[in-house]
Amino acid sequence: MAGTRRAGTLVADDDPQWLRFWDIYPRRVAKKEARKAWAQLHPDSATVEKMITALAWQSMQVQWLRDGGQYVPYPASWLRAERWEDEPSDVGQLQLSDKTAGTLAAAAAILQGQV
């Protein structure tokens, strides 16, 4: 669960948990608003893990991949709506070959610092 909400502050640009999120979020726009939303949430490490896991499957949704990612929510909107709590669905997911899925999983592990 997220920690205490803090109004009117920005998360430090070099905060390691913030950077984990920002580095993998597929649409890096409106960074200041995203930093505000992050500071308001003040997520703990377990919540950040849930976010990373959710982004892994959400980024494979056809809706997020369509039209060059035009329908990926702004990061601040995603954070404020607590979209990491969404439930995955097989409907609308891009179907990948085993080789491509393995490559993407390896890339995600590298981004998450697991390799």
Comparing CA positions, the residue from 28, 21, 13 lying closest to residue 53 is 21
18: which residues sit within 8 A by CB, 6+ positions away?
11, 12, 35, 38
Positions of the chain with pLDDT under 70: 1-8, 90-97, 100-101, 112, 114-115
| pLDDT for position 41 | 93
Task: Tell me whether residue 56 is exposed, middle or buried, using C-beta atoms within 10 angstroms of its C-beta: 0 to 12, 13 to 18, 19 or more.
Answer: middle
Torsion of CA 87, 83, 108, 61, to 10 degrees: 60
| pLDDT for position 95 | 59
Contact between 86 and 58 under an 8 Å Cβ cutoff? The reply is yes
Q: Does the predicted TM-score (pTM) go above 0.85?
A: no
| pLDDT for position 91 | 53
| pLDDT for position 3 | 47
Cα–Cα distances (Å) from 115 to 18, 28, 105, 109, 111, in that order, read: 20, 24, 11, 6, 9
What is the DSSP code string of 66-100? GGGGTTSPPHHHHHHTTGGGSPP-STTBPP--HHH
